[in-house]
């Protein structure tokens, strides 16, 4: 019966033929170095694991109860020679793994510029990296080529043996940019930028995808990566320029809306510095960029007058995409620089003859411009009169 079960499992081994071993046989030098790091680390660990597993079976068999020929030493408890082997071998392997990991961490740092195209092939002095700006959308990938002035959706191409410099960000949630044949994965995060340097050494079509779950359309968030010769790459760029359409801010806001299983799309022109606006969450006209806001904060902020800066800002992703905000159709603004309880407590201290103020949420512009304020308010009631809500 046991033999029949084993025979039934043999056909299932044929399924292993469908496994994609691209991680162990990549086409890019960075991915190849990462593979070598994994293989060497595994072999070093197997130096300990394999003998331990083998000796476990050997001792169980050698010193079984039915084996009367095995030496029986109930009082044995120590061997200096065995202690040296048991402790020295793992210690040496840990030292080797530590050195290997330290060197690999620095040499394969995704932010580090490449110093070679492949083993034994340094980068030519005249070589110029291909600049590619990557934006993870829901649920598709946008690639902007600033030097070529084109953009593509769910299709990426690069010349063989030419360094590639990726700048990566996300529109809403965290994703992970991963092309197994090219290099390891690196995260894409909103309002932030990550970098990746890589090179493809073999022409072909490879698969890229998101390795971090990001919602309903995650399974279709895949794209093709084309490794092309210089001539074929120029032809690919020319084909994109013939596609027509400009990726400006309005087109991007429309593209940013969630969609699943999106086919390849090309834009023949792009708006300058669009990637920087995407990263700074200020694609929509009239919004202050995150970099500008952080620069103001770095200088100490604007105090009460700074509310004029933050009132019209709504960074909620649904509002950016033209839909309704989670808290209602109207934009939500800052109504107070203190909590509601603190505001009510301060109102209770106002003299009884003071005209009460409307505490309903502020809409639109609520404070006068600092230049129009003749003097600093002398009391809380005077401050409230300056901050009287506008219901326009």
Q: How far is CA 278 from CA 78, 164, 249, 253, 266, in A?
A: 67, 21, 9, 10, 18
Q: How far is CA 20 from CA 15, 119, 218, 248, 310, in A?
A: 11, 24, 20, 38, 51
pLDDT at 224: 94
* Pairwise CA distance, residues 252 & 321, whole Å: 10
* Pairwise CA distance, residues 31 & 17, whole Å: 22
pLDDT at 323: 43
Q: Residue 9 — φ and ψ, nearest 5°?
A: -80, -20
Beta bridge partners of 316: none
- Maximal CA-CA distance, the chain: 107
* Pairwise CA distance, residues 239 & 163, whole Å: 22
pLDDT at 390: 45
pLDDT at 25: 82
pLDDT at 160: 94
pTM of the model: 0.70
* Pairwise CA distance, residues 282 & 303, whole Å: 22
H or E segment to which residue 222 belongs: strand 222-228
pLDDT at 64: 87
Contact 33, 106 (CB under 8 A): no
Contact 26, 198 (CB under 8 A): no
pLDDT at 379: 54
Contact 366, 331 (CB under 8 A): no
* Pairwise CA distance, residues 116 & 120, whole Å: 8
* Pairwise CA distance, residues 210 & 187, whole Å: 9
User: What DSSP state is assigned to residue 145?
Assistant: E
* Pairwise CA distance, residues 13 & 45, whole Å: 27
123 CB neighbour count, 10 Å cutoff:
16
Cis peptide, bond prior to residue 139, ω within 30 of zero? yes
pLDDT at 193: 93
Nearest to 225 by CA among 143, 108, 111: 143
Q: Residue 187 — φ and ψ, nearest 5°?
A: -80, 150
Contact 223, 154 (CB under 8 A): yes
pLDDT at 62: 87
Alpha helices (H) in the chain, listed in sequence order: 2-9, 29-62, 80-107, 230-241, 249-255, 274-279, 290-298, 307-310, 317-320, 340-348, 380-386
> Digits of tens for pLDDT over the chain (392 positions)?
566 666 666 666 555 555 567 888 888 899 999 999 999 999 999 988 998 899 999 988 988 888 888 888 878 888 888 888 888 888 999 999 999 989 888 888 999 999 899 888 998 888 899 999 999 999 999 999 999 999 999 999 999 999 999 999 999 889 999 999 999 899 999 989 999 999 999 999 999 999 988 888 889 999 999 999 999 999 999 999 998 889 999 999 999 999 989 999 999 999 999 999 999 888 887 777 888 778 777 776 666 556 555 555 555 544 444 444 444 445 544 445 566 677 777 777 777 766 655 555 444 444 444 444 444 444 555 545 545 544 44
């Amino acid at each position: 019966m046991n033999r029949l079960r084993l025979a039934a499992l043999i056909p299932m081994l044929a399924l292993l033929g469908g496994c994609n071993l691209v991680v162990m046989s990549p086409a890019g030098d960075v991915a190849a170095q990462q593979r070598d790091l994994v293989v060497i680390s595994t072999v070093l660990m197997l130096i300990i694991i394999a003998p331990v597993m083998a000796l476990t079976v050997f001792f169980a068999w050698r010193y079984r109860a039915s084996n009367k020929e095995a030496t029986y030493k109930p009082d044995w408890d120590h061997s200096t020679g065995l202690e040296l082997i048991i402790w020295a071998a793992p210690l040496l392997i840990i030292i080797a793994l530590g050195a290997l990991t330290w060197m690999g961490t620095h040499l394969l740092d995704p932010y580090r510029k490449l110093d070679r195209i492949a083993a034994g092939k340094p980068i030519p002095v005249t070589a110029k990296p291909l600049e590619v700006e990557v934006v993870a959308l829901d649920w598709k990938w946008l690639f902007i080529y600033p030097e070529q002035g084109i953009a593509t959706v769910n299709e990426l191409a690069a010349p063989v043996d030419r360094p590639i410099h990726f700048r990566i960000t996300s529109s809403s949630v965290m994703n992970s940019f991963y092309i197994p044949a090219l290099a390891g994965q690196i995260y894409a995060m909103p309002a932030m930028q990550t970098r990746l340097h890589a090179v493809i050494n073999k022409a072909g079509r490879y698969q890229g995808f998101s390795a971090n779950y990001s919602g309903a359309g995650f399974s279709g968030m895949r794209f093709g990566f084309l490794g092309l010769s210089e001539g074929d790459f120029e032809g690919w760029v020319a084909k994109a320029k013939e596609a027509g359409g400009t990726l400006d801010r309005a087109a991007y806001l429309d593209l940013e809306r969630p969609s699943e299983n999106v086919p390849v799309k090309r834009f023949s022109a792009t708006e300058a510095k669009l990637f920087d606006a995407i990263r700074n969450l200020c694609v929509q006209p009239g919004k202050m960029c995150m970099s500008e806001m952080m620069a103001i904060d770095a200088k100490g902020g604007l105090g009460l007058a700074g509310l004029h800066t933050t009132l019209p800002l709504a960074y909620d992703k649904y509002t950016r995409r033209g839909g309704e905000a989670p808290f209602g159709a109207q934009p939500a603004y800052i109504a107070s620089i203190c909590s509601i309880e603190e505001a009510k407590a301060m109102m209770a201290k106002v003299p009884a003859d003071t005209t009460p103020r409307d505490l309903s949420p502020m809409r639109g512009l609520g404070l006068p411009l600092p230049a129009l304020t003749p003097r600093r308010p002398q009391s809380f009631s005077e401050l409230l009169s300056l901050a009287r809500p506008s219901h326009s």
